[in-house]
């Protein structure tokens, strides 16, 4: 799949814990995207990048395409359960598995170099979607190996 470039209204349960982050220069964050904080401390959409960590799910759209780093800030949900899409074929046996960001809208249960930990699967919706509790992923420096 390719990165999303549209706002997403993804289902969530108990989403709270909003936190604002300064946005990276030239970044366009869309509502519902998985986001990371770069090594420099700026919010960007989730991509496999060394020395970054999962910030949460974007609560709002923030277009900093023409701005310098920190010209704008964007709110992210840092707690809650979100219905996320997976590149894997899921079963109930995956409940409890760690979840890793593949890009800004797709996750995997397969760890890989520099992928950010998003959280843990807490429920299966279909073979390609699961409820993910992001509480254990946000702010975690844990990267795939």
pLDDT by residue (tens digit) across 7-40? Answer: 766 666 555 688 999 999 999 999 999 999 998 9
DSSP state of 17: E
Q: β-strand 73-86 against 106-108: which pairing, if any?
A: parallel
Which range of residues forms the domain containing residue 90? Answer: 12-133
pLDDT at 67 over 70: yes
92: in domain: yes
**Does any domain span residue 143?**
no
pTM summary value? 0.86
| 136 pLDDT tier (thresholds 50, 70, 90) | confident
Residue 4 lies in a domain: no
**Which of these, 41, 68, 61, lies nearest to 52 by C-alpha position?**
41
90 belongs to a structural domain: yes
Does the residue 140 lie in any domain?
Answer: no
pLDDT at 66: 97
pLDDT tens digits for range 84-95:
999 999 999 999
Structural domain total, the chain: 1
Examine residue 73 and state whether it is found in any structural domain, yes or no: yes
Residue 44: helix, strand or coil by DSSP? strand
Residue 100 lies in a domain: yes
């Amino acid at each position: 799949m390719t990165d999303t470039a549209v706002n997403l209204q993804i289902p969530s349960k108990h989403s709270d814990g909003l936190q604002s982050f300064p946005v990276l220069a030239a970044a366009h964050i869309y509502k519902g995207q998985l986001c990371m904080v770069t090594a420099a401390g700026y919010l960007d959409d989730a991509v496999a990048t060394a020395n970054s960590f999962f910030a949460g799910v974007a609560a709002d759209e923030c277009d900093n395409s023409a701005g310098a780093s920190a010209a704008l800030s964007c709110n992210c949900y840092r707690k809650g359960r979100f219905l996320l899409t997976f590149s894997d074929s899921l079963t109930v046996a995956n409940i409890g598995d760690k979840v890793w960001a593949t890009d800004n809208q797709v996750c995997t249960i397969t760890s890989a170099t520099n992928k950010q930990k998003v959280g843990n699967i807490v429920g299966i919706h279909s073979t390609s979607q699961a409820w993910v509790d992001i509480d254990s992923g946000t702010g975690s420096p844990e990267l795939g190996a």
